[in-house]
Structure 1
Amino acid sequence: MDGTLLDDDGHVPDAFWPLLDDLLRAGIVFVPASGRQYQTLHGMFGERDGLIYIAENGTSVMQGGSSLHREPVEDAAIAPLVEWVRTTVADGADLGIVVCGARTAYIERTDAAFVDHVRRYYAAVEIVADVHAACLDDDVLKLAIYDAGRAETRSGPAIRGLGLPADVVVSGPNWVDVMHRGANKGRALVRLQRHLGVSREQTMAFGDYLNDAEMLDAAGHSYAMANAHASIRARARHTAASNAEAGVVSSIREALPNLKPVLVP
């Protein structure tokens, strides 16, 4: 989504919507795959036949409002990470944690700048006194740490050094995601391919950042955006125009020249 389908202002390009109608009319499944929560993605795209969501970096797959697959974080990873964030903040770091439950996301940092930033990605969010206590009766799909500095070189390595029973991935310049071991967009995509009876060579995938790597590996037709992280550009088979140029739309149109447009009476 961010840096891939969405433009630099965070909007879906206008040219995408007629393309989506053409894809669904042709029986082609379209899957928004994102580190964002399902509720946020659903608010952007809604429910349509042929639309499936890979949310929370692959830890949740949803169709028609029902869960096809879910991989919660191990309980043993949650409390130590929450405590590490609190301690690091007390030492002066500009960090915030989002505990991403299946029902809602939980935050305990309350300044307006952080809350506004979180709401960009999480439509369902609760401000609570204690994120760990608040999530005890919810499936925690992901722990997202916001780092106002450089996540790739600072908080990412530090969190990996904690030795948590979880995978740690840098999902953006300011975000580190902590998830169930082995969970990622690629594993979710492979499971979805099996569920649908779709092969790797029948799959196109687009990405721009480190949390897209395994998803690109799972697609026979993998595209890195022109604005992608260098390692993602090296990993993909093709390059799409940048997100600012609606590269996802133009690449799909180019790859499917016989896709018939919806006829408007």
Structure 2
Amino acid sequence: MDQPYRLIALDVDGTLLNDEHQLTEGTKEAVRLAHEAGATIVLCTGRGPSNSFYLMEELGFQGVLIAHNGAATVMSEDKRLIHSFAYHMHDLAGLVAYCRETGIHYDANTAFDMYIDRITPREQDMYVKYGIRPIRVEDVVMLQEPVQKFTMFGTMERMDQLEAEWPQIGCEMSPIRSGDFFVDVMHPEATKGNALKKLAESLAVPREQVLAVGNYYNDIAMLEFAGLGVAVANSPDKVKEAADLVTVSNNEEAVRGILEQYVLGSR
């Protein structure tokens, strides 16, 4: 029997990984079997490549990675940038000034590197948790290289306030909530859905044969694009509403269950 889902897009944090940021053995095995069965597995994450490639190695394969919420599509074998939605930091000078005035931590991300110009022990702990080594510069606004993502980090309440105050900040680009404690600023066309669509077209895979699993607002576009969009149980209601199906939580091996039911069961 032909495999109905040839392209499988998996969000990482809150979906593929459990709340301890662990990849369980059962999930690893299911992903490996799906890969061996001929499916193209692509991690679709808000993370950058540097702290995502190790997961692909753990899963036992190399290939395409959709990083920075769809702003950068890269090849893991040779660290090659396949496609990018980027902008320049001078476009965010007003937003950076706002962050400095209000004490919000931020980082600027190019395709493969992260830059900061200030840090406290709290943010340092966060970077260690996610396996990130940011590069310290004097002023991120002065970066010459195009950036794919600008991320702000704080308490859930502070990020809620940031979103509420956005119209007064004067930033022409829109924010996207990528986690309870994170707000990202992306190129207007940079979404996981757009990146997944471009990848599917390049592989000649119709959207009906695309399966996507996610858990947060930055996953909505890819869940809506996929032939089967699956939200895990720990997703906010808006994400569940955008999905075709709601499954168990990330702490219950949601990805494993979906792959066993919709991919491996069809072999």
Taking structure 2 as the reference length, the TM-score comes to 0.88
- Structure 2 spans left out of the alignment, 5+ residues: 1-11
Are the equivalent residues in 1 in contact too, given 2:85–2:189 (CA < 8 A)? Answer: no
- Higher RCO (CA-CA < 8 Å; seq separation 6+): 2
Who is 1:116 aligned against? 125
RMSD (Å) for aligned C-alpha atoms: 2.0
Alignment of 1:131-150 (within 5 A): 131-133=140-142, 135-136=143-144, 138-150=145-157
Are the equivalent residues in 2 in contact too, given 1:167–1:183 (CA < 8 A)? Answer: no
Residue 127, structure 1, aligned to residue 136, structure 2 = yes
Who is 1:78 aligned against? 92
Aligned equivalents of 2:52, 2:188: Cα separation in 1: 24
Aligned length: 253
Aligned equivalents of 1:202, 1:84: Cα separation in 2: 44
Post-superposition Cα deviations, 1:179-212, rounded to whole Å, max 9, x if no partner, equal 1112111111111111111111101101111111
Structure 2 counterpart of 1:19, from 16, 26, 30? 30
Residue 68, structure 1, aligned to residue 82, structure 2 = yes
Q: Secondary structure at the match of 1:182?
A: coil
Q: Secondary structure at the match of 2:246?
A: strand
Aligned equivalents of 1:243, 1:117: Cα separation in 2: 21
Are the equivalent residues in 2 in contact too, given 1:58–1:184 (CA < 8 A)? Answer: yes
- Structure 1 spans left out of the alignment, 5+ residues: 90-94, 261-265
Taking structure 1 as the reference length, the TM-score comes to 0.88
Alignment of 1:148-167 (within 5 A): 148-150=155-157, 153-167=160-174
Q: Secondary structure at the match of 2:40?
A: coil
Q: 1:111 to 1:208 in 2, by over 3 A?
A: same
Q: Percent identity?
A: 27
Structure 1 counterpart of 2:69, from 50, 54, 57? 57
User: Alpha-carbon deviation of 1:149?
Assistant: 3.6
Aligned equivalents of 2:263, 2:112: Cα separation in 1: 37
Are the equivalent residues in 1 in contact too, given 2:94–2:170 (CA < 8 A)? Answer: no
User: Alpha-carbon deviation of 1:17?
Assistant: 1.9
Q: 1:36 to 1:70 in 2, by over 3 A?
A: same
Are the equivalent residues in 2 in contact too, given 1:109–1:115 (CA < 8 A)? Answer: no
Q: 1:210 to 1:223 in 2, by over 3 A?
A: same
